[in-house]
Amino acid sequence: GNSVTQMEGPVTLSEEAFLTINCTYTATGYPSLFWYVQYPGEGLQLLLKATKADDKGSNKGFEATYRKETTSFHLEKGSVQVSDSAVYFCALIIYQGAQKLVFGQGTRLTINP
């Protein structure tokens, strides 16, 4: 089946620290990969995506590279800010299959000033 596994949270960092949130997947087809973010009290927002192997998605200083050989899509940011505190969800969708997002369990990130 299709599934997404994320790094266990919560994650707490100091401002300006380097961030990595690990995400690995299993898929029966060729997935597109996404990171969504949920800020406190808000809905899910698309952060970035990648639709084929070796693609790099980027937005707001965050990056993630689609690694087919390791079935991974790790989220990185070089210098986090307090405003990055949120819950981050890795997700996949299979192009040929049911058009549904399969989400990881989410990783809560807290950035301290």
Partner 1 sequence: GAGVSQSPSNKVTEKGKDVELRCDPISGHTALYWYRQSLGQGLEFLIYFQGNSAPDKSGLPSDRFSAERTGGSVSTLTIQRTQQEDSAVYLCASSSGSGGRLAQYFGPGTRLLVL
Q: How far apart are CA 68 and CA 88, in angstroms?
A: 21
| Identified binder of partner 1 from the candidate list 44, 59, 67, 76, rule CB under 8 A | 44
Q: How far apart are CA 70 and CA 67, in angstroms?
A: 6
Residue 67's CB is within 10 A of a number of other CB atoms, namely: 16
- Counting contacts by CB under 8 A, is residue 102 touching partner 1? yes
- Counting contacts by CB under 8 A, is residue 32 touching partner 1? yes
Helix, strand and coil percent figures for the chain, each rounded to 5: 5, 55, 45
Please state the closest distance from residue 107 (CB atom) to partner 1, in A: 12
Q: Is 82 helix (H, G, I), strand (E, B) or coil?
A: helix
State the binding string over 2-31 for partner 1 (x if CB under 8 A, else -). Answer: -----------------------------x
Site for partner 1 in 70-89 (CB under 8 A): 89
- Interface with partner 1 by CB under 8 A: which residues? 31-32, 34, 36, 42-46, 49, 51, 89, 91, 93-106
